[in-house]
Structure 1
């Protein structure tokens, strides 16, 4: 299965106490891990809801909404949730830390080994309660699905139409979606013109440009013509949408191809090129790899300054020469004072 992120959605209750838990572990393949749990008395459970059947993005929103609603009724829920999350953090630390926990969950999810996952979860809960009813489901998502889920709350076509029919520089070019990293990414607000945005082409607007790009980068597309390896796009335009909820972004790829996208302020864009190389080995063969290994061999892009000639310049004086000059000056002062005062 081709995926970039996994989620373990969890629903649990204590047989011998009033504790009820909802939460998740969310991780990137062979990388980081994050979690969130809420703990509350069973009387607040909506038995008609089946949250584990929800897509992860919806489940996450449901968790937030539920906590806000029930915590406003009782401070006990705030304390229960805080105490359990403190306990869980300590337990994860005892079991090797977040890195080790994320690696184990990643391997178990990859193998879809639900028995091992159940055993791991029981180990995490054991010192809180040994008598627990535990249910969980797995969710998998790719970079593109993460973007689609994050965009569900808005109509990007309406946002684009707000720029007017006269904006041919925008409306006539192809579309892309950015690669998101919900865990360690940064928002579009932190990007400046000239920054790199990793992107996948979702729609071509020009057949000639499509054919040319596919000819220049054949390994970036599958047999059906889908863009399966992300491109390194250079940010050339940022404009706020009319409602202020997002940013219209235009990127340049390969110094001639342009594409657009609507990026919401709460989206976190992927920046870590090492993770991209691990996920898409074909990227290692491209020019950006040359830039990583040998910056001087990479041609400067428009709007940037090539500093290779500065790096290669030798200093006029080395440390030894400077020391000798200072010694001569000091000796001259000593001779001067000796003859002047003697």
Structure 2
């Protein structure tokens, strides 16, 4: 394989640029040409593709977002859209493609794989919901952004003796909420993977108040539902001064952490190695701090598993 492409797709995550840099420089080091596909699968269909050199990825390892831009592309879900994309890859002589993104991006890579086009998926999403890897690129940075925000909110909660309900991202996964809630000592964590009882939440808050606790933090994963509605119920049933904060897209931005920069560099480089070995239809990941790769079709048939032991621990520590 002499010429490969790289694209980023779906929601941006801190560390995507580091992964792009690793793909480009690893490939050039081994004598390959690299082409960047701009605006994800939409750019692939439209032929928004250009050759990348060493300098093309200079000064981006520390930047959030993605140099290659990103876009949603419903058209690529169709056979016609997929064929248009493959035609563009052939037009540019691109023999293999590295796809950096989350579940939707992997689905696109899976389709290309089914059409016989060599792809390697690199997990880039703050949600940490990709099967076959312990961590995804961007999760650590987003987690620390959330922790920093909750630390600040707790200062106000303490000063004004309030209950705060904080909604965090994660789509249908509760990893951000669980890890941030445990790290910040939240009194209650609501995640889509575990059922919750509102009466139990009210009882916990009431017991805390009776023993002199003046403030509480409740972390809600967006996959559970609206933190605003949950906050209304809490205030109605407890009469506690309750506020709601939805952290929103601030979680997706910012300079990537050291952990995300290193992870992205390792995974991006490994993706290039797989293509050089003639292996397409794979996705890379990290498990027990070891680089791994899986069949992308088989990986997407699996389900991301949240650590229920951590959830139990969070409950035990927040009595």
- Largest Rg, 1 or 2: 1
Question: Per residue, is there more strand in 1 or in 2?
Answer: 1
Q: Tell me the TM-score normalised to structure 2 length.
A: 0.31
Q: Tell me the TM-score normalised to structure 1 length.
A: 0.29
Relative contact order, higher structure (CA 8 A, sep 6+): 2
